[in-house]
């Protein structure tokens, strides 16, 4: 998976792990395999960041649907309650 910086350059998720110790890497792998809901929530948050960086407000409704069924449901609820402001923020320069 790769993340895009606001300037469009790429950043891979593995780049975050380059400086981890072996012990930290093993711990993260154990968490990821043992708590798949946490991995899903992280992916949903990454997708939210993508929407902002890409200014893709047309993806917001489907993101809210996915996020509402995840560990970030409370955040999704807040976004849904103020959807017009969130849409405006996404598309603003």
Per-residue confidence (pLDDT) for residue 9, from 0 to 100 = 46
Gap between the Cα atoms of 16 and 35, Å rounded: 19
* Tens-place pLDDT, residues 33-73: 898 898 888 889 989 998 998 999 999 999 999 999 999 99
Task: Please give the pLDDT value at position 11.
Answer: 46
Which of the residue ranges 17-26, 51-60, 81-90 would you say has the lowest mean pLDDT? 17-26
What mean pLDDT do residues 18-44 have?
85
Q: What is the pTM of this model?
A: 0.73
């Amino acid at each position: 998976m790769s993340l895009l910086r606001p300037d469009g350059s790429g950043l891979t998720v593995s780049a975050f792990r380059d400086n981890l110790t072996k012990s930290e890497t093993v711990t993260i792998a154990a968490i990821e395999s043992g708590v798949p809901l946490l991995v899903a929530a992280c992916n949903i948050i990454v997708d939210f960041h993508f929407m902002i960086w890409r200014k893709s407000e047309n993806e917001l409704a489907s993101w809210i649907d996915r996020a509402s069924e995840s560990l970030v449901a409370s955040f999704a609820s807040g976004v849904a309650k103020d959807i017009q402001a969130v849409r405006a923020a996404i598309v603003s320069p």
